[in-house]
């Protein structure tokens, strides 16, 4: 159970990092356009 919960937290953290990177990329593209 603990391992499964930790894996779920890792997925949430990864999803958050991807969202943050996507926002950064969109800002860079917006500045270039």
Indicate the SS3 state at residue 1. coil
Provide the residue range defining the domain that includes 28: 1-33
Cα separation, 30 vs 19, whole angstroms? 16
State the total domains in the chain: 1
The alpha carbon dihedral of 14, 19, 20, 26 has a sign of positive
pLDDT by position in tens, the chain (length 33): 688 888 999 999 999 999 999 999 999 999 987
User: 6 Cβ partners below 8 Å, 6+ apart?
Assistant: none
**Nearest one of 10, 6, 13 to 21, comparing CA atoms:** 13
């Amino acid at each position: 159970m603990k391992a499964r919960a930790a894996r779920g937290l890792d997925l949430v953290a990864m999803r958050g990092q991807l969202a943050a990177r996507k926002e950064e990329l969109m800002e860079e593209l917006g500045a270039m356009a």
